[in-house]
Amino acid sequence: MKTLAILSTSGIGGTETFIVSTAPYLRKHGCEVEIMNITIPNPLLKRRAEEQFLTYHELPAPDLLSFLKNIFKIIRMIKKNRYDIIFCFGIRVSLQLRLTKIFYKKTPIIIGIRNLDNWRKWYHTLPDRFLEPACDVFVPNSRIVAAMRNKREKTPWEKLVTIYNGIDTDFFNREHVSAVNRQSLNLPEDKLLFTTVANFRHTKGHTFLIDVIAGLRKQLSHVHFVWVGKDVINLKKDIVNRLNAEQLTENITIVDNVDDVRHILAVSDAFLLPSNEEGMPRALMEAMAMSLPCLATNVGGVSEIIKDASCGCISEFGDSTTFGNHLLRLANSSEVRSSMGEAAKECIINHFDIDLISRQYIHLFNALLSNQFNGIQLQQELDAIS
């Protein structure tokens, strides 16, 4: 079986990590994955793909003319290579494929949905709904994302199948991380480290976390915070100014670029995700796989990951009091941190292991290729795979 995953990206985020990390496991189950990126060159994604021995295609589209030419290049490539499945991410790529479906109408198209996309306006939703018949199935990565798709775009449940993000629990395993220490990472050795992995976007809640920390600075004097992420929309300057105003620069270390976040997670004591919008946050799942106790806001699919209080803490976004109380509980009890971290790891292994998720995708692919697809029935079959 041959699958082509098409996306449009200039960096590495949750979607790109999902594709690159899942592909080797799909290969183990008989499905070869090739990646196509149709935007500006993405050397980091190319390197990650080649490290996994994946065929990587790049069609740069710096202007509208190149974008239109790429449509015909994609058609020729699909017809030439005779892919069994086309898997795409992002509205721009998705609409391209739907408009050209007539040229490869026998090849199933899967649309991956990774976020709630609350930013969408009617002019985004309208063409999406109009061209929906050209898609075979939509695959959200959480139940809540599926419910939003059904409510907003009116996608019928028969065309919706939820498959969660998969986590490589061998790779994200504290015991498998090569020797590392805080000194080599320029992190304090005499305090607890509470880490947040989130690119600097307004939706990631850094300012909310600043409010919480500022209000508890005395009670949290034994805690140091580490923020890992890229400055995607030039927000970091505003964040730093806010930290200066609150006199918190000594309490927080910002790390801009990290090739392997496991090294920081391995020396951390807890993980915080204060977002006000998420789909199915991989960063949270990776931290849980690394046996870290986690505190997150109740957005997107977070409550589908942290299934009960034994494996993590959840607070409503903006509720500084509840978030702060959870934070103090983690900061003041090594027993809570230890037991919660172990329960978090078990939760990821049992429900989100990447091999399990890969087998669910293979089951989906086979259902599409056998022309026996019904999303409602298939969802029950996928949920039964263990």
Which residue range is the domain that position 100 belongs to? Answer: 2-166+353-383
Q: Are residues 36 and 125 in the same domain?
A: yes
Residue 102 pLDDT exceeds 90: no
Are residues 98 and 244 both part of a single domain? no
Could you tell me if 362 and 338 lie in one domain?
no
Give the pLDDT band of residue 117 (cuts 50, 70, 90): confident
The CA distance from 200 to 198, in Å, is 6
| Other CB atoms within 10 A of residue 168 CB | 17
Mean pLDDT of 278-282: 92
Residues 48 and 193 in one domain: no
Note whether 285 and 346 are same-domain residues: yes
User: At residue 26, does pLDDT exceed 80?
Assistant: yes
CB 195 within 8 A of CB 226: yes
pLDDT computed for residue 93 by the predictor: 85
- Tell me: pLDDT of 372 over 90: no
pLDDT over 90 (residue 97): no
Q: Assess whether 213 and 111 both reside in one domain.
A: no
Q: Is pLDDT at 368 greater than 80 in this prediction?
A: yes
130 shares a domain with 269? no
List, in order, residues 6 or more apart from 90 with CB less than 8 Å away.
Answer: 7, 8, 9, 15
- Neighbouring CB atoms inside 10 A of 370's CB total 8
Residue 25 has pLDDT above 80, yes or no: yes
Look at residue 5 and tell me whether its pLDDT is greater than 90.
Answer: yes
- Confidence bin at 164 (pLDDT 50/70/90): very high
The tokens describing 91, both together, are 């509205």
**HEC states along the chain?**
CEEEEEECCCCCCHHHHHHHHHHHHHHHCCCEEEEEECCCCCHHHHHHHHHCCCEEEECCCCCHHHHHHHHHHHHHHHHHHCCCEEEEECHHHHHHHHHCHHHHCCCCEEEEECCCCCCCCHHHHHHHHHCHHHCCEEEECCHHHHHHHHHHCCCCHHHECCCCCCECCCCCCHHHCCCCCCHHHCCCCCCEEEEEECCCCHHHCHHHHHHHHHHCCCCCCCEEEEEECCCCCCCHHHHHHHHHHCCCCCCEEEECCCCCCHHHHHCCCEEEECCCCCCCCHHHHHHHHCCCCEEEECCCCHHHHCCCCCCCEEECCCCHHHHHHHHHHHHHCHHHHHHHHHHHHHHHHHHCEHHHHHHHHHHHHHHHHCCCCCHHHHHHHHHCCC
Cβ-based neighbours of 338, under 8 Å, separated by 6 or more: 293
Contact 88, 94 (CB under 8 A): yes
Neighbouring C-beta atoms of residue 4, cutoff 10 Å: 22
Do 82 and 189 belong to one domain?
no
Q: What is the pLDDT of residues 45-67, one digit of tens each?
A: 999 999 999 999 998 877 778 77
The pLDDT score that the predictor gives to residue 292 is: 98
Displacement of CA 276 from its chain's centroid (Å)? 15
- Contact in structure between 218 and 32 (CB atoms under 8 Å): no
Band of residue 259 on the pLDDT scale cut at 50, 70, 90: confident
Residue 143, pLDDT above cutoff 80: yes
- Residue 179 corresponds to which amino acid? A
| Gap between the Cα atoms of 305 and 140, Å rounded | 15
pLDDT of 351 higher than 90: yes
Examine the domain organization and report whether 24 and 135 are in the same domain: yes
Residue 242, domain CATH: 3.40.50.2000
Q: Are residues 109 and 91 in the same domain?
A: yes
Residue 302 pLDDT greater than 90, yes or no:
yes
Beta bridge partners of 34: 4, 55
Nearest residue to 313 (alpha-carbon basis) of 262, 265, 268, 274: 274
Q: Residues of the chain with pLDDT > 70: what percent?
A: 100
141 pLDDT more than 90: yes
Q: Taking the CB of residue 219, how many other CB atoms lie within 10 A of it?
A: 13
Q: Does residue 85 carry a pLDDT above 80?
A: yes
pLDDT for the residue 216: 97
pLDDT score of 234 more than 90: no
What is residue 11's predicted lDDT score, i.e. its pLDDT?
80
Query: What's the number of domains the chain is made of?
Result: 2
Per DSSP, what are the bridge partners of residue 223?
192
Indicate if 256 and 158 belong to the same structural domain: no
How many CB atoms sit inside 10 A of residue 14's CB?
20
Render pLDDT for 194-209 as a digit per residue (tens, 0 to 9).
999 999 999 999 999 9
Percentage of the chain beyond pLDDT 90 is: 73
* 33 and 74 part of one domain: yes
